């Protein structure tokens, strides 16, 4: 059934922009096509910047993930869809998250947003709620938008070729793409959004995921099954840059570096991100048993080399959009499902990515077949492989510690390495099964409270005692689960996770390799400066909707001759060429960083408005800073003893192992606090993490409404007894 439909004349793309917004209100089923103002474009650029502004404007301090006014915003950026440069298929989804109760976003590749832009839109804003599941269809060929009933089948990846065939009309399947979230997104807070496109070389659909923060759960809460786009206009030169030749030259230079460097360095082109498994394991960074350990000899059974040789089909280049020669989107063509509703079916699996594989090692499971099963079902159900994995590993540890029993878990024996229990829990969570599985689907922050209530009564301990114990190893910050790196020995990455505005996700600051592998941040000051600079550059990639991997994971040979090799400035030069050749401008890196900082601060302001965003929300669990229990300490006893002697400067004589562990923990906590003070100063915040007025002024954010937010929050700290929530 068609609920509403409008026709429109397509805004042409000019110098990377269409300057047009598609707005859909699911409550009234109304569709609006609106111009995007020059001011919005100048101040917020695109991608995450547009999502932040749309969410800020459409919501208020009382908005929750399920409020009808919550905005699900989607935006590409000025380079989205450019086929002559690598990494241009990305877009951002942003919303008020069910996990963090404030703005959270996730980026994802594929063909979806390039086709949306080709159809005439720079951004989409979804508001309202529908009782019935609906689909928005963008027909860029005919110039029409419709809201129709969702397809009957709940399972989507399994039937995606069928859906594409149905929607393509007379056009090519390669010119249809859709986004969608499945049953897991509907029944939990951990829902991701699948970005599905037809790969003409492999002759099958591929799916990439916007994993973090529960954007898929918001989508399903709104009654939106998905959005479909089709557009058969030519993609080449569709972004209409100001200087095509200059842009092509920059794209060619970047491709040359990728071709020369990647095969000898990370091998993303043949191993995908599974190359990180070996690298992380050899530096004690691969999460094992809920981040207790960073290394395990069984990691050799799940090495990136095995994926390259035995699992990934290497016949075709695997860029998630045209023009990406780094081509890390690897996949397994045939996997026989052993469990769940599709047991016995043979399916194709996209990935696994490093994060999904490490979510499995974090359960003490080192089995490629299980990694494929876990990844496929998470994608089919639309569950974030990271948050789902961390929820499970947290529950496994709580069970192993005796804080949960099989009575609590519905009979599941959550012991390290128990793959059968892990996959059963996954199926139950996705189905929203009442009781334990439903609680698990609410995330680690919720579970800490739920387990504390039950365990305190059973163990005759106080609730706060149990809660504090759970908080030592419950790997969440701001409500979002940690992504898959052990941070115990990298103070820079501890800050990278703790200060990240949306929670501990490495897309804001991935300093682990620079700090711990390459030892490029040897001093405290270098770490603090990196925690200012890298988040801004990474935010820039998100506001323009570009993939970061060709910059951060492929170091230009000339970078070693620069003052800060880790910044990879010779490659940044190619990006500056892309900017100026597309927009016809003369921008410098400083200009880009300023744009980025403005968007970064707008995110901070939303966090503050929603009642978060201050120092206490930047604290991280002890497990992220160092060993929590004596078994962790003893697994690297010699290393920690050396740290205590040489770094902390304490004598070990006469101290028990437990006392040594405690001294180390106190030191690590103090280092994190010291880092917090220094980074806040670098960022222009006060010691509570609140931006100074002059910081807002410098960024053109000194409007009364923004200044009011920071002043209201400041008042809370001036009167510590007043616990009134910020209510603007």
Separation of CA 378 from chain center: 15
Residues between 100 and 159 that touch ligand SF4 (CB under 6 A) = 109
Separation of CA 429 from chain center: 21
For the bound state, the minimum distance from the C-beta of residue 321 to ligand SF4, rounded and expressed in Å, comes to 6
Token digits of residue 118: 């080709």
Q: Which is nearer to ligand SF4, 80 or 426 (CB)?
A: 80
For the bound state, the minimum distance from the C-beta of residue 457 to ligand SF4, rounded and expressed in Å, comes to 47
What string marks each residue from 541 to 580 as x (binds ligand SF4 by CB under 6 A) or -? ------x-xx------------------------------
Separation of CA 395 from chain center: 22
Return d(Cα 596, Cα 573) in angstroms, integer.
Answer: 17
Instruction: Give the residue carrying structure tokens 């006014």.
Output: 69
Instruction: Count CB atoms within 10 A of the CB of residue 719.
Output: 9
Q: Can you list the alpha helix ranges (DSSP code H) found in 59-178?
A: 112-118, 160-167
Q: Which is nearer to ligand SF4, 109 or 191 (CB)?
A: 109
What string marks each residue from 34 to 73 as x (binds ligand SF4 by CB under 6 A) or -? ----------------------------------------
Q: Which is nearer to ligand SF4, 304 or 495 (CB)?
A: 304
> If binding is defined by CB under 6 A, does position 87 make contact with ligand SF4?
yes
Return d(Cα 326, Cα 88) in angstroms, integer.
Answer: 12
For the bound state, the minimum distance from the C-beta of residue 251 to ligand SF4, rounded and expressed in Å, comes to 13
Q: Which one of residues 193, 320, 528, 622 is an interface residue with ligand SF4 (CB under 6 A)?
A: 320
Token digits of residue 219: 């989508």
Q: Which is nearer to ligand SF4, 151 or 545 (CB)?
A: 545
Instruction: List, in sequence order, every beta strand (DSSP E) within 26-121.
Output: 30-35, 72-75, 91-96, 103-108
For the bound state, the minimum distance from the C-beta of residue 564 to ligand SF4, rounded and expressed in Å, comes to 23
Using the contact rule CB under 6 A, the part of the chain among 295-303, 318-326, 370-378, 618-626 near ligand SF4 is 318-326
Residues between 387 and 416 that touch ligand SF4 (CB under 6 A) = none
Residues between 243 and 302 that touch ligand SF4 (CB under 6 A) = none
Q: Which is nearer to ligand SF4, 70 or 329 (CB)?
A: 329
Pairing of the two strands 134-139 and 193-199 = unpaired
Return d(Cα 365, Cα 372) in angstroms, integer.
Answer: 12
644-648 contact pairs (CB < 8 A, 24+) = none
What string marks each residue from 325 to 344 as x (binds ligand SF4 by CB under 6 A) or -? -xxxx---------------
For the bound state, the minimum distance from the C-beta of residue 272 to ligand SF4, rounded and expressed in Å, comes to 8
> If binding is defined by CB under 6 A, does position 498 make contact with ligand SF4?
no
SS (H, E, C) 436-449: HHHHHCCCHHHHHH
Using the contact rule CB under 6 A, the part of the chain among 166-174, 322-330, 519-527, 595-603 near ligand SF4 is 322-330
Q: Which one of residues 324, 349, 480, 622 is an interface residue with ligand SF4 (CB under 6 A)?
A: 324
In angstroms and rounded to an integer, the radius of gyration of the C-alpha atoms of the chain is: 24
Asked whether 44 and 57 are in contact (CB, 8 A), the reply is no
159-162 contact pairs (CB < 8 A, 24+) = 160/196, 160/205, 160/207, 161/198, 161/204, 161/205
How many residues in the shown chain lie near ligand SF4 by CB under 6 A? Answer: 13
Q: Which is nearer to ligand SF4, 189 or 321 (CB)?
A: 321
Q: Which is nearer to ligand SF4, 16 or 351 (CB)?
A: 351
- Three-class DSSP category at 138: strand
Q: Which is nearer to ligand SF4, 87 or 94 (CB)?
A: 87
Q: Which is nearer to ligand SF4, 74 or 108 (CB)?
A: 108
CA distances from 378 to 228, 375, 435 (A): 21, 5, 20
For the bound state, the minimum distance from the C-beta of residue 66 to ligand SF4, rounded and expressed in Å, comes to 31
What's the CA dihedral at 702, 705, 710, 716 to 10 degrees? 160
Q: Which is nearer to ligand SF4, 324 or 661 (CB)?
A: 324
Asked whether 28 and 576 are in contact (CB, 8 A), the reply is no
- Three-class DSSP category at 176: strand
What string marks each residue from 448 to 467 as x (binds ligand SF4 by CB under 6 A) or -? --------------------
Contacts of 146 (CB under 8 A, 6+ apart): 2, 3, 4, 5, 136, 137, 139
Q: Which one of residues 319, 351, 496, 621 is an interface residue with ligand SF4 (CB under 6 A)?
A: 319
For the bound state, the minimum distance from the C-beta of residue 300 to ligand SF4, rounded and expressed in Å, comes to 25
For the bound state, the minimum distance from the C-beta of residue 257 to ligand SF4, rounded and expressed in Å, comes to 13
Separation of CA 75 from chain center: 15
Which residues contribute to the site for ligand SF4 (CB under 6 A)? 87, 89, 109, 319-320, 324, 326-329, 547, 549-550
């Amino acid at each position: 059934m068609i609920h509403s439909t409008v026709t429109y004349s397509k805004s042409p793309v000019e110098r990377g922009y269409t300057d047009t917004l598609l707005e859909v209100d699911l409550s009234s089923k109304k569709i609006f096509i609106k111009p995007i103002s020059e001011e919005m474009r100048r101040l917020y650029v695109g991608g995450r910047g547009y999502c932040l502004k749309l969410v800020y404007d459409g919501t208020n301090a009382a908005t929750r993930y399920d409020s009808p006014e919550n905005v699900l915003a989607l935006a590409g950026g000025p380079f989205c869809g450019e086929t002559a440069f690598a990494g241009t298929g990305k877009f951002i989804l942003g919303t008020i998250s069910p996990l963090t109760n404030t703005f959270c976003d996730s980026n994802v590749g594929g063909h979806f947003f390039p086709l949306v832009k080709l159809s005439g839109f720079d951004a989409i804003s979804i508001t309202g709620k529908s009782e019935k599941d609906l689909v928005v269809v963008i027909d860029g060929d005919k110039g029409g938008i419709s809201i129709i009933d969702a397809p009957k089948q709940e399972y989507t990846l399994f039937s995606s070729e069928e859906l594409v065939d149905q929607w393509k009309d007379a056009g090519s399947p390669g010119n249809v793409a859709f986004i969608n979230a499945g049953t897991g997104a509907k029944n939990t807070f951990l829902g991701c959004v699948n970005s599905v496109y037809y790969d003409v070389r492999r002759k099958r659909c591929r799916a990439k995921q916007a994993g973090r923060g529960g954007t898929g759960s918001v989508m399903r809460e709104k009654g939106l099954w998905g959005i479909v786009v089709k557009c058969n206009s030519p993609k080449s030169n569709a972004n209409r840059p100001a200087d095509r030749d200059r842009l092509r030259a920059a794209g060619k230079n970047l491709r040359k570096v990728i071709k020369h460097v990647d095969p000898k360095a990370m091998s993303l082109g043949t191993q995908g991100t599974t190359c990180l498994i070996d690298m992380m394991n050899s530096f004690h960074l691969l999460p094992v048993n809920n981040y207790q350990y960073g290394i395990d000899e069984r990691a050799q059974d799940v090495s990136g080399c095995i994926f390259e040789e035995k699992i990934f089909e290497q016949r075709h280049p695997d860029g998630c959009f045209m023009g990406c020669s780094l081509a890390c989107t690897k996949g397994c063509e045939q996997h026989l499902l052993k469990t769940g509703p599709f047991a016995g079916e043979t399916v194709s699996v996209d990935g696994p990515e490093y994060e999904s594989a490490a979510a499995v090692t974090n359960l003490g499971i080192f089995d490629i077949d299980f990694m494929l099963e876990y990844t496929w079902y998470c994608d089919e159900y639309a569950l974030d492989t990271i948050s789902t994995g961390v929820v499970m590993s947290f529950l496994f540890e709580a069970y192993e510690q005796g804080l949960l029993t099989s009575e609590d878990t519905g009979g599941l024996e959550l012991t390290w390495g128990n793959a059968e229990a892990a996959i059963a829990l996954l199926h139950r969570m996705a189905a929203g099964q009442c009781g334990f599985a439903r609680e698990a689907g609410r995330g680690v922050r919720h579970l800490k409270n739920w387990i504390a209530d039950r365990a305190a009564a059973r163990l005759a301990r106080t609730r706060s005692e149990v809660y504090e114990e759970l908080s030592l190893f419950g790997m969440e910050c701001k409500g979002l689960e940690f992504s898959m790196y052990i941070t115990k020995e990298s103070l820079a990455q501890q800050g990278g996770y703790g200060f990240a505005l949306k929670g501990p996700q490495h897309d804001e600051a991935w300093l682990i390799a620079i700090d711990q592998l390459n030892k490029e941040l040897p001093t405290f000051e270098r770490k603090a400066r990196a925690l200012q600079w890298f988040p801004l550059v990474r935010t820039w990639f998100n506001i323009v909707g570009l993939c970061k991997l060709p910059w951060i994971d492929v170091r230009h040979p000339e970078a070693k001759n620069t003052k800060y090799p880790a910044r990879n400035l010779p490659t940044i030069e190619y990006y500056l060429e892309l900017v100026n050749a597309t927009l016809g401008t003369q921008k410098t890196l400083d200009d880009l960083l300023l744009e980025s900082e403005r968007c970064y601060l707008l995110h901070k302001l939303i966090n503050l408005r929603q009642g978060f965003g201050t120092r206490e929300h930047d604290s991280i669990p002890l497990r992220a800073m160092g060993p929590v229990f004596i078994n962790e300490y003893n697994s690297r006893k010699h290393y920690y003893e050396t740290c205590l002697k040489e770094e902390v400067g304490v004598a070990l004589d006469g101290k028990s192992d437990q006392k040594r562990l405690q001294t180390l923990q106190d030191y690590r906590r103090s280092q994190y606090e010291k880092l917090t003070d220094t980074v806040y100063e670098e960022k222009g915040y006060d010691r509570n993490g609140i931006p100074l007025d002059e910081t807002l002024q410098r960024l053109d954010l000194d409007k009364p409404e923004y200044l009011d937010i920071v002043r209201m929050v400041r008042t809370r700290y001036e009167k510590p007894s007043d616990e009134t929530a910020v209510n603007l």
